[in-house]
Amino acid sequence: MSAEGIILQVLNGLDKGSAYALIALGLTLIFGTLGVVNFAHGALFMIGAFCAVTLSRLLSLSHVVIDETKTDFLGKPLEVNVPYVFDMFGPETGQAIIDWSVPLAILFSIPVMVLVGFAMERGLIKHFYKRPHADQILVTFGLAIVMQEIIKAFFGANPIPTPAPPAFSGSFDFGALIGMENIIYPYWRLVYFSFAMIIIGAVFAFLRYTTFGMVVRAGMADRETVGILGINIDRRFTIMFAIAACVAGLAGVMYTPINPPNYHMGMDFLVLSFVVVVVGGMGSLPGAVLAGFLLGILESFASMSEVIAILPGINQIIIYLVAIIILLTRPRGLMGRAGVMED
Amino acid sequence: MLGLNQKDTKLLIIVTAMVVFAPFLLNPFPQGSELAQFNGGYPDLLQRFMIFGIFAIGFNILFGLTGYLSFGHAAFLGVGSYGAIWMMKLVSLNVIPAIIMGVIVAGLFAVVVGFISLRRSGIYFSILTLAFAQMSYQLAYSVLTPITGGETGLQLKATDKPIFEDLAEGEIGRANLFGIEMGESFKLALGDWVFTFNFGYYIAAVVLLISFYVSIRIFRSPFGMMLRAVKSNQQRMNYTGLNSKPYMLAAFVISGMYAGLAGGLMVAMDTQAGPERMFWTASGEVVLMTILGGVGTLIGPVLGSGVIKYMENIISKINDNILHQWFSIMPDGIEDFLVAVIHPFVGKGWHLTLGLVFMAVVIFLPGGLVEGGQRIGRLFNRKKSESPSSAKAEAAERGV
């Protein structure tokens, strides 16, 4: 196998790995702060993706205008659908806004996700702090079913294609950049990876360099003492929940051009993300990110035809296989701390 | 009776009566009436009640007694189905060897999975079982196609020639029990009511009753006590010098064998097997059933599986036309409004109803429907008598 082949597989693994890492990061944040196992986290990812769909539909809302200059084949004046954004910004800017609906959805999804996050935490999860983990898993699992059924009722069961802006559609030769040949890679995947790195960096910087983040970290280590110091740690943890929801939502928004969103995409990712969290070590943020990328890249290597020829079917099970091996050899995952979830 | 105390005997008798008369009890509306679609007394659904009841009883032995939440239990059901269908394809169309084969295969698989997964507890155990189940699903879908039939699954075909049967050329075998086919039914018409008594259903019912009896015995045995001790405090168990591993593994394997039994029965009823039975949503479903009915109670899982399967079959059948019929007495505006409000919850949206009901149960009734029933029962008892004896009975009830 050539060096180009290896680089290509690593690159291929990065975009899926980014999605795993972002979801696992949010899961770990929630688990580390609130001590809640959130099975509805995949649904938050999915809601983020549907924020992008909603925005692109909103922007394309149009009204019918009769164009006198053109006629259809019967000789009548042609009816044209003109999106409202064309009226507001003119046709060129309007078209650009529609094309860039996915990146714009980032702005749209942040308030939505914060709102959903707050509602979820205050409305439901708050009441489950003291209940056993099994109850938390079950109630959030129920919530995930409800959320995905609501989305299904509004958007139907079929995947909805949501294209990337034209500037980023198509592929480029990554090899030319680093002096090698023939590493063709889609633009958007690189965008997704960079975006994920920015988000991950921002979350870590926020926790590391702000006072708020310091208090949250202190609360993760010893909630009771922080409370005794007179800090309202619950409120800060609620905000962290909203941030985690945002991270999942943004991961979903940017994922739409890679994979057209459907209502059960959240559950598909959730199962794998849980495996990622456990492999990384429950409660460890760097572990979650590391395991996310690691498993994404491993999955992409396992789906190479050379590997499948030796071990048929390995691409389907590699993640689970790795998870089993790691759990049995390193009981706390790659970077887990002692005493988490071991009661 | 049968080594049970009075209360359990009563429970067993009630369940037996309900199961025997289910074709009557679940068919309360006359044929052709508007409410006939609420009848759950047709063979296909009744069989499902029994099969999923067995599945949930088995799951409850693991989750209810030991508190280990397996998220991959459907794998055993799927493996059991494959074992059973191969037995039918190759050896005999009689359902008994097929079901036994299903139980054995699932049991062996459970030994392997349990031996590895039980090294960890809590969420790690859940993830390990989930990982094994997803691996089985993916493999059954792709690489193991020669054994599992891949996406299409396995059915009985005209080319199958079981050793102990002599089928005519091109004849497709049918599952039977000593010559009586599973699909055979006896219809009884009483006035407007038509009751169907299906042979396959009664086979499944007998198996369910036996499973239920065994589960009562396990719950009341010293072995069951040991499992409960694991649930309440495993560390303390270890400090007393007792190795809880073999007990856990035994519980896991028994639970897996129940799932295999359900899988075998499923094949006996519809003579097919496919990988979708192993998907993690199927594992999630049995968790829902058990929780909905009441974890750790004897009757809970049976109730829960009945309710979910009934909802799945009945609510999903309601469409807008039926809703319009129901509300046709109302003025038009209100009729349309009501239909629009209810529409998302019925038909294809029945999962939404399921999710909401399930959430409500977890939030308000952690003990499931059984706890709900007990609360209602207690409410009535309190009204009747405020004597100390009722308080004692109540305490005894809670202790169950």
Which among A138, A149, A342 is the nearest to B362, CB-wise? A138
Which among A145, A282, A313 is the nearest to B139, CB-wise? A313
| CA–CA distances in Å: residue A273 to residues A25, A205, A267 | 9, 23, 10
The B-side interface with A (CB below 8 A) comprises 67, 69, 116, 119-124, 126-128, 130-132, 134-135, 138-139, 141-144, 280-281, 284, 287, 291, 344, 349, 351-352, 354-356, 358-359, 362-363, 366
User: What mean pLDDT comes out for the span B286-302?
Assistant: 87
Closest residue by Cα to residue B273 from B44, B71, B98: B98
Mean pLDDT of the residues in chain B: 82
User: What mean pLDDT comes out for the span B372-377?
Assistant: 86
Which among A139, A275, A342 is the nearest to B122, CB-wise? A342
**What count of residues does chain B have?**
400
As a whole-number percent, the residues of chain B with pLDDT over 70 amount to 93
- Residue B384, pLDDT score: 62
Which among B119, B344, B351 is the nearest to A145, CB-wise? B351
Residue of A nearest to B362 (CA): A139
Average pLDDT, consecutive stretches of 10 residues, N- to C-terminus, chain A (343 residues): 76 86 90 84 91 87 74 72 75 78 86 92 86 82 88 85 77 70 78 90 92 88 86 88 92 88 83 85 86 90 79 79 84 71 52
Spatial contact of A133 and A125, defined as CB atoms under 8 Å apart? no
B354/A137 CB distance under 8 A: no
Which residues of chain A lie closer than 8 angstroms to B358, CB-CB?
A: 138, 142, 145
pLDDT over threshold 50, residue B400: no
Query: Parallel, antiparallel, or unpaired: how do β-strands B180-181 and B185-190 relate?
Result: unpaired
Spatial contact of B188 and B197, defined as CB atoms under 8 Å apart? yes
Q: How far is A29 from chain B (nearest CA, A)?
A: 17
Q: How far is B332 from chain A (nearest CA, A)?
A: 24
- Residue B390, pLDDT score: 47
Tokens of A309: 């020829």
- Residue A1, pLDDT score: 59
Q: How many CB atoms lie within 10 A of CB B25?
A: 13
Please report where in the chains the tokens 């860039």 appear, as a residue. Answer: A100
Which pTM was predicted? 0.83
The model's pLDDT over B383-392, given as tens digits with 9 standing for 90+, comes to: 665 554 444 4
Which residues of chain B lie closer than 8 angstroms to A150, CB-CB?
A: 344, 352
The residue ranking higher by pLDDT, B334 or B309, is: B309
| CA–CA distances in Å: residue A76 to residues A30, A63, A72, B16, B324 | 60, 18, 6, 75, 42
A139/B363 CB distance under 8 A: yes
H helices of chain B, where?
A: 6-20, 22-25, 43-66, 74-90, 95-117, 122-141, 145-148, 199-220, 222-232, 234-239, 245-270, 280-293, 300-314, 320-326, 332-342, 350-364, 368-384, 388-399
- Residue A341, pLDDT score: 56
- Residue A343, pLDDT score: 47
The A-side interface with B (CB below 8 A) comprises 37, 124, 127, 131, 133-135, 137-139, 141-146, 149-150, 152-153, 267, 271, 274-275, 278, 282, 312-313, 316-317, 320-321, 323-324, 327-328, 331, 341-343
Residue of A nearest to B125 (CA): A327
Hey, what's the torsion of the CAs at B124, B130, B134, B140, to 10 degrees?
Answer: 120
Tokens of B43: 């063979």
Distance of CA B299 to the CA centre of its chain: 12
- Residue B383, pLDDT score: 66
The residue ranking higher by pLDDT, A140 or B151, is: A140
Which among B127, B284, B352 is the nearest to A275, CB-wise? B127
pLDDT over threshold 70, residue B163: yes
A320/B355 CB distance under 8 A: no
Which residues of chain A lie closer than 8 angstroms to B144, CB-CB?
A: 313
